[in-house]
Amino acid sequence: MRFFRYVLVVLCCVALSGCVSDTYNRLSNLSTGCTTTAFQVACSQTTTTSNNHTPGQTVTTNPDGTTTTSPTVNTGNTNTMTTGDTTLILEGSTVKSVVGAKPGLSRLADSPLNHLTSNQTANTSIAFNTNTSTNSNWPTTKTMAYNEYGTCSYSGGVDPANPGKCVDGNGGTGLAADTLGGDYKLYRAYQQNVYDEELQIWTWGNSYATQYRDVTASGTDPQHQAWSFGGNYTPTTAMPALATRGDISYAGKWGATVKTSNWVDSTNAAQTMSWNNNWRVEGDSALKANFGTGAFSGTLTPVEWEGVTKDNGFDYILASDIGSANFNPFMQTKVYLAGTITTDATNTAKPNQITGTATLDPAMGWLTSNNINPVFGGVFGANAEEITGAFAVSGATTYPNGGYYPINNDRRAYISMSGIFHGAQ
């Protein structure tokens, strides 16, 4: 009887020439429609393969020869514009705008200057040229609806006695609540089982920054993510006078999305958030620019981390709360920015740009990746009153580290983040 069952197993898999064990399916994320038990094989006539271009999506060949993509592919971008806001491009958790690569471009559909006021509550859209080989895999440009509740949630919610207004009468603030006050708006484009996209816009006196996320079928890692910035660039005619001032200091806020992995959680039952998590982080920025030498530097200090709890809720922890069961030293990791200010009198749209690199605090034992750490920025205002930009950085912390014994049992924990920063004189 056992021999007969074995023959049936062999015949079924040979006939379909594609049966693999369920264990292999789980490890390889490849399903050919065949599953095994200790005694039999159950084979179907559908074949599922991974889509190499869009993380998290699969294409299934049906018995009638048609194919079904699950979830729906959100692609079709045809934008190839050559001008626009400097944009940091990510796909999944991979940074595409790496050091030395040409950054992407984006363009808000309405006048960007409208986003420098608190009155931009009309629908909007953002178009991209990623300047990558996968530009056509990005979504088509869509009209995005102003999300009043999402905006007002940052300032106390929608005023129930005054529909259309936030409790404080204005938009949200969030990261814009630095030395210049600022404003915040949220926009969404959503169609069930087709697409789900979101756009955040922070505005200050002379500049703005955005985060775009395509979360159509991405889980916690967006299929497409972009950080951009723009505004009233400082004219080149102001640079000679600025060059005589030496180092100029800027203070403001920064924010990022962060992914941590390979950490070992504590055994303390009071720890409610895993250290392997998807976080959003905000903190204080201290920037410095010298328009004579072209040197730019900055320190981004985290203040608050917010992540998913073990019971699928949300909670936050202050970076200074070392007594909390959720605290991990990586929450105090500073990000250092270093770059060069380049002035181009022929580029009237963006006459000055900052390019450079970001580094995770080496004093805490971080090893920063060699090229996945770009910094892009710009100088804004009639007299360089503001600096706004975007960055991405990834690194590992090691153990054991140093000492005079041979190293063995190497262990690594990882952190990667991308976000925006702003500062004002």
- Within the chain, all domains assigned CATH 2.40.160.90 are found at 233-425
What band does 166 get if pLDDT is binned at 50, 70 and 90?
confident
pLDDT tens digits for range 355-369: 999 999 999 999 999
pLDDT value of residue 217 = 80
By CB neighbour count within 10 A (0-12 exposed, 13-18 middle, 19+ buried), where does 324 fall? middle
Tell me the backbone φ, ψ of residue 152, rounded to 5 degrees. -70, -20
User: In the prediction, which pLDDT does 163 show?
Assistant: 63
- Burial class of residue 28 (count of CB atoms within 10 Å of its CB; 0-12, 13-18, 19+): exposed
Q: What number of other Cβ atoms are within 10 A of residue 22's Cβ?
A: 13
Torsion of CA 380, 423, 258, 220, to 10 degrees: -50
Query: Is the per-residue pLDDT at 9 higher than 70?
Result: no
- The mean pLDDT of 269-294, rounded to a whole number, is 96
142-161 tens-digit pLDDT: 999 988 888 887 666 777 77
- Interval 203-235: pLDDT, tens: 898 999 999 999 998 666 899 999 999 999 999
Average pLDDT, the chain: 82
pLDDT in tens, 293-314: 999 999 999 999 999 999 989 9
Domain 233-425 top-level CATH class: mainly beta
Q: What is the mean pLDDT of residues 89-99?
A: 91
Q: What is the pLDDT of residues 275-284, one digit of tens each?
A: 999 999 999 9
Per-residue pLDDT at 327 = 97
